[in-house]
C-alpha cells in the first residue's frame, strides 16, 4: 500500500497543477514510468535522449514573443510555455503580457530598464539563460513584440545554439503591425500601399555607414514606413527623408505605448511630426508610421475612441461577464488571483492603475495591502458593487469610492484624473 501511495503521489505531482486546479493526461512513457518507479517524477517535456548517469540534462529555452503590450495579444503557445516554465526572463516592455495566474513557484528575472537602473547588458542576459538552462530548468525568455524583429532574439538563439542548449522560437505579434492597427492605420492597402518597410530609427544617427536607403524610402509613394524606437531620433529620420525628396505633406503618425491604456497618438504631415511630438511631450517607447495609409486613421480610430479608453482596472479573478463587458468598453483589465502572487504584482506595476473593481468586502480587504505599490496613484478609484463594499473601502482609507451596478455604470462617472488626462492627450492632432 505504501508503494501504491508513492506511485499515486508521483502521478499527481506530475500531472496536476494545484495552483490552477487543472490536470493533463500523461503520455505513454510517463505512464510506464509511474507504474515502474514509485518515486519517479518525469519531466513531461523531456523528449531528448537521457543524459549520462550522474549528469543533469540541460533544460529548454523558449524565446517567446510577448506582443506589443496588450496582454490579449500573447499567443496561445506563448501562454502555454509560460505556465509550464520554471523561470521567466522578461523585458520591461513585456511585463504586461505575463499571465497573472503564473504559478508562484516560477522564478521571475527582470532584465529590462527600470527607474534609475540601466538595462542589463546583453552578455549578462545570455549568461543567465545558459545558467538557468544548464540547471535543468524550462526557461521562457519573454521579449516584447516578436523575438526576431529588432529584439536581439537571433543573437540570443545563436548563443544558445553555440552552447548546445535546446531552444525554440515562439513568434509574437510585432509592434510594427499591431500598434498602427490600434491607431487606426492599416500598414497595407490595396489601392495605396503595396509594400511595408520596417526600420530601426537609430540608423538615422549614424554619421557614416547607415544601412538605411533614405533615397529609396523617400521616393516610394506606394509603401508604408514603420519605424521602431523612433521617439528620440525622429527629427533626424524626417530630416533624412525630406533631404532625399519625400513630399513634406506625406501623412505620418507617432504612437506612444501602443495597444495599452497609455496609448497616445499624434498625427501630422511628416514635415511637422517632430514638432508635434515635442509639443505632446511624448517619450519612449514609441513607433512612427509614414505613408499614405495614415490618413485612414481619421475614421478608423477604433481603439482610442472607446468610452473607457485610458482606464486600467484591477479586479479579482475570475472576472466573468463583467470583465468581458469592461474590456469591450475599452478598459485595460488586470485580472488577479487571490492570494496575490509575484506575477500579478509585476503586471500591475508595469503601468499606472486608475481603478480597482470590488465585488465583495473580502476583495477590498485582500487588495488593500497592495496599494503602496508604485503603480497605485492616490486617486485610484475603488469601484464597489454595493454600498456595503463601498463602506468597507472608505473605512480602509480609499479616497475615491464609487458604487456601480453594471459595466455601463462606470461611464456615468467622470474618468479618474490619470485617465482624464490621457483621454485629452490621446486626441492630440496637428
**Share in percent of the chain as helix, strand, coil (round to 5):** 35, 20, 40
Which residue in 70, 86, 91, 101 is the catalytic one?
91
Whether 86 is catalytic? no
Whether 143 is catalytic? no
Do 125 and 156 contact (CB within 8 A), yes or no? Answer: yes
Return the bridge partners of 269, or none: 251
Return the bridge partners of 3, or none: none
Cα–Cα dist 249/371, whole Å: 48
Do 82 and 63 contact (CB within 8 A), yes or no? Answer: no
Which residue in 43, 113, 220, 275 is the catalytic one?
113
Cis ω for the linkage preceding 285 (within 30 of 0): yes
DSSP 401-417: EEE-SSTTHHHHSPPPH
* DSSP strand pairing (332-336 vs 87-90): unpaired
CA distances from 142 to 81, 172, 282, 287, 375 (A): 10, 10, 26, 20, 22
DSSP 131-192: HHHHTT--EEEEESB-TTSSSSHHHHHHHHHHTT-EEEEE----HHHHHHHHTT--S-BTTT
What positions carry a catalytic annotation? 91, 113
Amino acid at each position: 500500500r505504501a508503494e501504491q501511495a508513492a506511485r499515486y503521489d508521483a502521478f499527481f505531482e506530475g500531472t496536476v497543477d494545484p495552483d490552477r486546479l487543472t490536470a493533463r493526461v500523461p503520455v505513454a512513457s510517463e505512464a510506464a514510468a509511474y507504474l515502474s518507479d514509485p518515486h519517479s517524477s518525469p519531466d513531461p517535456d523531456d523528449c531528448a535522449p537521457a543524459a549520462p548517469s550522474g549528469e543533469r540534462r540541460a533544460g529548454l529555452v523558449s524565446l517567446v514573443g510577448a506582443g506589443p503590450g496588450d496582454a490579449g495579444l500573447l499567443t496561445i503557445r506563448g501562454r502555454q510555455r509560460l505556465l509550464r516554465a520554471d523561470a521567466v526572463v522578461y523585458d520591461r516592455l513585456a511585463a504586461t503580457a505575463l499571465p497573472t495566474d503564473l504559478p508562484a513557484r516560477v522564478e521571475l528575472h527582470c532584465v529590462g530598464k527600470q527607474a534609475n537602473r540601466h538595462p542589463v547588458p546583453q552578455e549578462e542576459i545570455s549568461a543567465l539563460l545558459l545558467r538557468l538552462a544548464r540547471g535543468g530548468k524550462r526557461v521562457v525568455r519573454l521579449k516584447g513584440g516578436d523575438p526576431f524583429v529588432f529584439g536581439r532574439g537571433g543573437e540570443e538563439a545563436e548563443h544558445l545554439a553555440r552552447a548546445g542548449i535546446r531552444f525554440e522560437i515562439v513568434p509574437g505579434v510585432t509592434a510594427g503591425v499591431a500598434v498602427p492597427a490600434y491607431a487606426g492605420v492599416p500598414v497595407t492597402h490595396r489601392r495605396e500601399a503595396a509594400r511595408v518597410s520596417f526600420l530601426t530609427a537609430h540608423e538615422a544617427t549614424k554619421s557614416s555607414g547607415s544601412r538605411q536607403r533614405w533615397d529609396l524610402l523617400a521616393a516610394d509613394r506606394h509603401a508604408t514606413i514603420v519605424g521602431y524606437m523612433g521617439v528620440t531620433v525622429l527629427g533626424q529620420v524626417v530630416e533624412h527623408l525630406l533631404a532625399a525628396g519625400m513630399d513634406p505633406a506625406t501623412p505620418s503618425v507617432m504612437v506612444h505605448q501602443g495597444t495599452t491604456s497609455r496609448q497616445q497618438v499624434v498625427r501630422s504631415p511628416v514635415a511637422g511630426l517632430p514638432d508635434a511630438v515635442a509639443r505632446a511631450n511624448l517619450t519612449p517607447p514609441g513607433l512612427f508610421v509614414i505613408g499614405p495609409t495614415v490618413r485612414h486613421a481619421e475614421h478608423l480610430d477604433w481603439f482610442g475612441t472607446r468610452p473607457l479608453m485610458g482606464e486600467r482596472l484591477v479586479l479579482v479573478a475570475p472576472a466573468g461577464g463583467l470583465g468581458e463587458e469592461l474590456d469591450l468598453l475599452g478598459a485595460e483589465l488586470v485580472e488577479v488571483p487571490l492570494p496575490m502572487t509575484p506575477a500579478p504584482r509585476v503586471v500591475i506595476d508595469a503601468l499606472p492603475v486608475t481603478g480597482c473593481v470590488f465585488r465583495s468586502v473580502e476583495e477590498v480587504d485582500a487588495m488593500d495591502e497592495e496599494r503602496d505599490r508604485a503603480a497605485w496613484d492616490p486617486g485610484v478609484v475603488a469601484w464597489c458593487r454595493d454600498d456595503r463594499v463601498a463602506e468597507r473601502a472608505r473605512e480602509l482609507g480609499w479616497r475615491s469610492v464609487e458604487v456601480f451596478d453594471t459595466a455601463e455604470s462606470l461611464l456615468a462617472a467622470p474618468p479618474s484624473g490619470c485617465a482624464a488626462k490621457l483621454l485629452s492627450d490621446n486626441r492630440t492632432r496637428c
